[in-house]
């Protein structure tokens, strides 16, 4: 009884000195990571609209510019969205950075530890650190461009940027790193917070972990295939359009924006119509 009381008072004493900050930072890292992973999952599918047709990608761009809600385009919406994602991206990077090895000695220790224990999830953490580091640079360039050039998005504008402006190597590296990072991140998040474990028995928990790993691998395969095909399609469009780089896309069947219609009526140049 006395021992119990002493134990409690030691715990209370320690609690006064234990900082809650690391736990809060961990939570912030998880929440920002979850938002970014969901954003990327949707973003890569919207990008893949180019696989359907140029008009489909054009419509998606117009939707994000607010045309179907306000009847006019507001590229500022894209800048705002990109700025918001940038803030979340920076918060996520800041909270994740604390866990990176901070010296060559720590790095060597981690590598030898990883080789010694041959534990899959520890190796996955290493992939997370490497792809996260790559995204610091690649993601920042892309986000900054989207923020400052929101009206330069569309079937031709994007394809010209990717092919004629040589953005494809950056997108290829970003594509690989972001898909691995997001899929591994979601898997580790589920493990960390025990989303699928509940009060299940050890055997069931093991089965569910296996299932989550399978889902992670499938999503990497599916997203990698779709996104590589999209990038290839943008490159082909950019290649075919290289001689007219800078000219914007004019939708074939879609409804034409009122201001564009006016322009077309004044200047009868069908290929200089609705710009994208």
b vs e for 109-133, b when ≥16 Cβ sit within 10 Å of the residue's Cβ?
ebeeeeeeeeeeeeebbeebbebbb
Q: What's the min distance (Å) between Cβ of 57 and ligand HEM?
A: 9
Q: What's the min distance (Å) between Cβ of 210 and ligand HEM?
A: 29
Q: Is 257 near ligand HEM (CB under 6 A)?
A: no
Nearer to ligand HEM, 80 or 195 (CB): 80
Q: What's the min distance (Å) between Cβ of 174 and ligand HEM?
A: 4
Q: Is 180 near ligand HEM (CB under 6 A)?
A: no
Residues 125 and 96 sit within 8 Å (Cβ to Cβ): no
Among 32, 158, 250, 276, binds ligand HEM (CB under 6 A): 158
In three-state secondary structure terms, 172 is helix
Among 73, 82, 91, 183, binds ligand HEM (CB under 6 A): 82
Q: What's the min distance (Å) between Cβ of 48 and ligand HEM?
A: 7
In three-state secondary structure terms, 227 is helix
Q: What's the min distance (Å) between Cβ of 73 and ligand HEM?
A: 14
- Determine whether 54 is exposed, middle or buried from the number of CB atoms within 10 Å of its CB (0-12, 13-18, 19+): buried
> Which residue's beta carbon is nearest to the bound ligand HEM?
158
Q: Is 143 near ligand HEM (CB under 6 A)?
A: yes
Subset of 30-49 contacting ligand HEM (CB under 6 A): 40, 43-44, 47
Backbone torsion region of residue 167, taken as left when φ is above 0, otherwise alpha when ψ lies between -120 and 50, otherwise beta: alpha
Tell me, rounded to whole angstroms, the distance of Cα 33 from its chain centroid. Answer: 9
Among 37, 60, 73, 78, binds ligand HEM (CB under 6 A): 78
Q: Is 231 near ligand HEM (CB under 6 A)?
A: yes
- Tell me which residue of 55, 109, 77 sits closest to 276, measured CA to CA: 55
Q: Is 85 near ligand HEM (CB under 6 A)?
A: yes
| 69 backbone dihedrals φ, ψ, rounded to 5° | -100, -40
b vs e for 64-98, b when ≥16 Cβ sit within 10 Å of the residue's Cβ?
bbbbeeeeebbbebbbeebeebbeebebbbebbee
Q: How many residues bind ligand HEM (CB under 6 A)?
A: 26
Residues that bind ligand HEM (CB under 6 A): 40, 43-44, 47, 78, 81-82, 85, 89, 135, 139, 142-143, 146, 153, 158, 161-162, 171, 174-175, 178, 227, 230-231, 234
């Amino acid at each position: 009884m006395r021992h119990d009381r002493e134990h409690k008072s030691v715990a209370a004493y320690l609690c006064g000195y234990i900082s809650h900050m690391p736990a809060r930072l961990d939570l912030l890292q998880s929440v920002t990571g979850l938002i970014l992973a969901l954003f990327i999952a949707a973003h890569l599918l919207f990008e893949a609209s180019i696989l359907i047709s140029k008009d489909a990608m054009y419509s998606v761009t117009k939707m994000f510019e607010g045309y179907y809600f306000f009847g006019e385009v507001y590229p500022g919406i894209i800048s705002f969205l990109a700025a918001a994602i940038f803030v979340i991206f920076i918060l996520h990077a800041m909270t994740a950075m604390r866990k990176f090895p901070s010296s060559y000695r720590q790095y060597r220790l981690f590598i030898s530890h990883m080789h010694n224990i041959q534990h899959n999830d520890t190796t996955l953490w290493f992939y997370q650190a490497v792809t996260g580091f790559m995204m610091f640079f690649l993601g920042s360039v892309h986000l900054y461009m989207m923020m400052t050039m929101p009206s330069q998005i569309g079937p031709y504008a994007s394809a010209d940027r990717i092919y004629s402006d040589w953005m494809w190597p950056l997108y290829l590296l970003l594509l690989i790193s972001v898909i691995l990072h997001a899929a591994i991140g979601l898997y580790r998040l589920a493990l960390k917070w025990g989303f699928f474990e509940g009060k299940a028995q050890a055997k069931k928990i093991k089965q569910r972990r296996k299932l989550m790993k399978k889902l992670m691998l499938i999503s990497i395969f599916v997203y990698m295939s779709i996104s590589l095909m999209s990038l290839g399609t943008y490159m082909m469009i950019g290649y075919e359009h290289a001689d007219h780089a800078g000219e914007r896309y004019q939708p074939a069947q879609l409804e034409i924006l009122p201001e564009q219609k006016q322009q077309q009526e004044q200047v009868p140049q069908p290929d200089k119509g609705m710009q994208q």
